[in-house]
Amino acid sequence: MKQIIYGADGTPESMQVGEGAKPQPGPGEILIEVHFAGINRPDVLQRSGRYPPPPGASPILGLEVAGTVAALGEGVSEWKVSQRVTALVPGGGYAEYCVAPAVHVLPIPEGLDLAQAAALPETWFTVWANLVDLGRLKQGERLLVHGGSSGIGLTAIQLARHLGVECFVSVGSEEKARFCRDFGADHAIDYRQDDFVQKVKEITSGEGVDVVLDMVGAPYLQKNLGVLRRDGRLVLIAFLEGSKGEFDLMPVMLKRLTVTGSTMRPRTLAEKAAIRDALLAHIWPEIAAGRLRPHLHATFPLSQAGAAHRLMESSRHIGKIVLQVKA
């Protein structure tokens, strides 16, 4: 099969289409003929040597795919050959065929094509796990999302709307701020123009927010603690600008704050299956009804995977970037 390979230097320019062995599904797995694969920040980190795949996972890049079921592994009865599906995978997405645990597979929601479906799993698994399971976000609360125009950010905006949560986002331009407001955010703050702590405090009459979803890391840590109100939760999902720094712990004690975080890829099969089940029950019907939707910024052919990664690294995009694997 065709797959994306990359050089030891880990640059986008080293990415090219190569040949590899077609995988076979094991017990409890399905083989997917990949039509589209979503691009995510962990792919960029893995390519550059900073995020190795977990033991047993495919070394091929790609954590989410959409396509058709090509074969069933032993014991799989939930899915049928030729059925259209999307899936969270531990690796292997940038290829013509990819193996997925059957319990991490989801049907294509009504009204979505395969390109849109490929943009769903990684962001929805991540946002649900971190905001609902870890962040305990609930109706009537306030949420601040950094990187509001990213795939994760736009998904968090939609989850906030679904839960009845007032949503603040921080973004790097007025264009992105306008887009986020149009997409459903209640407030969008251009961090290049305004201090997000002061702006949130101004809008909330000094109260702050209940949950912060952060992918920036150390430079924002003290500010995040400052913008949270009593019993607030800071949820960390990435460290785009560094994971190490000094901060004053006093707000944690005085306001009874919780600081937590997680990554998706090392979670157990059962943990990810539980998230899949929650999404299927609560989110997939909303997508099928048209009340929630992905936003695709760009689609690249498989042969231009390097260009897609350069766009991801530039942060100029709004929403998701996907690769078209099957023409």
Dist. CA 74–CA 267, nearest whole Å: 23
Q: Using pLDDT thresholds of 50, 70 and 90, give the confidence band for residue 262.
A: very high
Residue 24 has a pLDDT of: 97
pTM above 0.95, yes or no: yes
Whether 322 shows a pLDDT value over 90: the answer reads yes
Is the distance from CB of 157 to CB of 167 less than 8 angstroms?
Answer: yes
Is the distance from CB of 58 to CB of 90 less than 8 angstroms?
Answer: yes
Location of structure tokens 């090509």: 70
Mean pLDDT across 262-269: 94
Residue 44 has a pLDDT of: 97
Q: Where in the chain is the domain with CATH 3.40.50.720?
A: 124-261
Q: Where in the chain is the domain with CATH 3.90.180.10?
A: 2-120+265-324
CATH superfamily of the domain spanning 124-261: NAD(P)-binding Rossmann-like Domain (3.40.50.720)
pLDDT, tens digit, 9 for 90 and up, residues 211-243: 999 999 999 999 999 999 999 999 999 999 999
Mean pLDDT across 309-325: 97
- How high is the mean pLDDT of the chain? 97
| Cβ contacts of 200 within 8 Å, gap of 6 or more | 144, 168, 187, 189, 208, 209, 227
Is the distance from CB of 3 to CB of 19 less than 8 angstroms?
Answer: yes
Strands 142-146 and 187-190 come out as unpaired
Side-chain half-sphere CA neighbours of 292 within 13 A: 23
Strands 258-261 and 228-236 come out as parallel
Mean pLDDT across 199-221: 97
CATH superfamily of the domain spanning 2-120+265-324: Medium-chain alcohol dehydrogenases, catalytic domain (3.90.180.10)
Residue 271 has a pLDDT of: 98
pLDDT, tens digit, 9 for 90 and up, residues 19-78: 999 999 999 999 999 999 999 999 999 999 999 999 999 999 999 999 999 999 999 999
- Classify each residue of 270-292 as buried b or exposed e, where b means 16 or more C-beta atoms within 10 Å of its C-beta: eebbebbebbeeebbebbeeeeb
Percent of the chain with pLDDT over 70: 100
Whether 327 shows a pLDDT value over 90: the answer reads no
